[in-house]
Every structure is written in C-alpha cells, then in structure tokens.
Amino acid sequence: MDLFLKIAAAALLVLMLFYLWPVYKHWQENSPKAQKGDWLAAILPLGAVVLFVIMLIMAVR
C-alpha cells in the first residue's frame, strides 16, 4: 500500500505540473517589469525579519 501511495503522489505531481505550465508561461510573458527601488523594497523587510530573529535568539541565550 505504501508503494501505491508514492506512485499516486508522483502521478498527481506530474499532472499538476502539466496543468500549471501554461499559467507559468503566461506569468513569465505578462509579468510587470522591475523598476528602480524594487530590490530595496524587498530587502528592507527581509533584513528586518533577520535582525528580529537574531535579537530573539540573543534574548533566549
């Protein structure tokens, strides 16, 4: 039964990839282009989260 579940899960994964491929192509062709400042807008919150986690780790020690 365990082997059957693994095969079924693999088959569903492959079917999901076939289903999502056209959506992926559409997103790649019609996605908004990056503008100046986009990377900074993404890095600042990520950096804040990293610093917060470091602060929590230091507080526990």
Residues 2-61: tens digit of each pLDDT: 999 999 999 999 999 999 999 999 999 999 888 888 999 999 999 999 999 999 999 999
- Domain residues of the chain, as ranges? 3-60
CA distance 3 to 1: 5
Tokens describing residue 39: 């990377």
What pLDDT is attached to residue 33? 87
32 vs 57: CA distance, rounded Å: 38
Both tokens assigned to 51: 């610093």
Tokens of 32: 């908004």
Q: CA 12 to CA 49: how far, in whole Å?
A: 35
Q: 34 in helix, strand or coil?
A: coil
